Amino acid sequence: MIYRTLYQGLVILIAFFMATTVSIVSVSSDDKVKPSNNPVSGWTELIGDAGLTAWTRAPLHAKREFQDKWAHVGTAGVTDQQTKMIISEPGTGTIVNGSGGRSWNIITKQPHADVEAHIEFMVPKGSNSGVYFMGRYEIQVLDSWGRKPKDLKHGDCGGIYQRWDSKRGKGKEGFEGHPPRFNASRAPGQWQSFDVIFRAPRFDEVGNKTANARFVRVVHNGKVVHENVDVTGPTRGAGFNDEQPTGPLMIQGDHGPVAYRNVRVRLLD
C-alpha cells in the first residue's frame, strides 16, 4: 500500500511538471500575443471585427492618389524573414496597407488627449511605418532587427522620431530625435507590440502652451525604451504642423508594407 501511494504521488508530480513545462513553452513563443476582440474594460478597440470603421484618411493625403488601399483581413504574415511583402488571409481583426504595401496614412475619427495605448504591428524585411500620437508625435516602426545598440538612432524601431525645420540650414534640419534605450525588435515578419502612456501638451485659457507633449513611458516588446521624454513640437512627417489639446491617432501607410492588429486606447483623466 505504501509503495502504491508513493507511485501515485510520483505520477501526479510528473504530470504537474509536464503541464507546467507546456505552459512555459507556450508563453515564451515569439508570436505569443494573439488577436483579441475583447479588450480589458475601459479600453476602446480600434480594429477588431469593425476593421477600418474607426479610421479615415489623414488630411495630408486627402487628395493624394495611391494604387493600394488599406484592407481588413484575418491574418497577415510573411513566408520567410527575407520576404519583403505581406501575405494575408480573409477574416477580421487585422489591417494591411494594400497588396503593394503603400497606401495613405489613416487617422482615428475620435481624438485623444492623455492616453494609454496598446499597438501590435508587423513589418517584413526592410519596411517602415510609424504611429503618431495626436497625429503629431511619432513612435517609429521599422525593421531594426539585428542592429547593434551603439548604432541605434531615432529612426529605429521604438525611437521617437526627430523634428524637422528647413530654416535651420543644410545638414541641421533634423533635431530632437530620441533613439530607444534598447533594440527590442523582433525578426521581420514577427508580430511586435508597443505599450505607450502619452501626455498631451498643456495650454492656458488663451491658447498659450504651458507644457510640452510627453511620452511618459514607451514599452517595446516588454522592454521600457523611453521614460518621461518631452517633445517640443510635431515630429517630421506629422499629419498636422500645429499643436492642439487633442488630436487623432495616426498610422503611417505610405512608407512600406505593414500590418496592425489589437490597436486599443484608454483615455486618461
Are both 6 and 97 inside the same structural domain? no
Residues 197 and 234 reside in one and the same domain: yes
Distance (Å, whole) CA 146 – CA 82: 14
Joined grid coordinates for residue 119? 499597438
CB-based contacts of 201, cutoff 8 Å, min separation 6: 209, 211, 212, 213, 243, 244, 245
Q: Let me know whether 39 and 25 are in one domain.
A: no
Specify the DSSP element, H or E, that contains 12: helix 2-27
Side chain identity at 116, as an amino acid letter? Answer: E
Asked if 98 and 129 sit in the same domain, the reply is: yes
Task: For the chain, list residues with pLDDT below 50.
Answer: 1-39
Please tell me the distance from the alpha carbon of residue 29 to that of residue 144, in angstroms, as a whole number: 20
251 and 135 fall within a common domain? yes
Tell if the pTM clears 0.75, that is, is over it.
Answer: yes
25: containing domain = 1-30
**Residue 20 has what pLDDT?**
37
Structurally, how many domains does the chain consist of? 2
| C-alpha 140: how far from chain center | 8
Residues 116 and 244 reside in one and the same domain: yes
Domain identity same for 9 and 106: no
| Residues 113 and 205 reside in one and the same domain | yes
The backbone torsions φ and ψ at residue 31, rounded to the nearest 5 degrees and listed phi first, read: -110, 45
Res 28: pLDDT: 26
Burial 239-261 (b: 16+ CB within 10 A, else e): bbeebbeebbbbbbbbbbbbbbb
Both 116 and 168 in one domain: the answer is yes
Contact yes or no for 122/71 (Cβ under 8 A): no
Look up the CATH number of the domain holding residue 237.
2.60.120.560
- Long-range (24+ apart) CB contacts under 8 A made by 24-31 are 30/186, 30/187, 30/190, 31/190, 31/191
Determine the Cα–Cα distance for residues 116 and 269; give it in Å rounded to an integer: 11
Instruction: Give the pLDDT score at 40.
Output: 57
Are residues 198 and 80 located together in one domain of the fold?
yes
pLDDT of residue 33: 38
Contact 212, 201 (CB under 8 A): yes
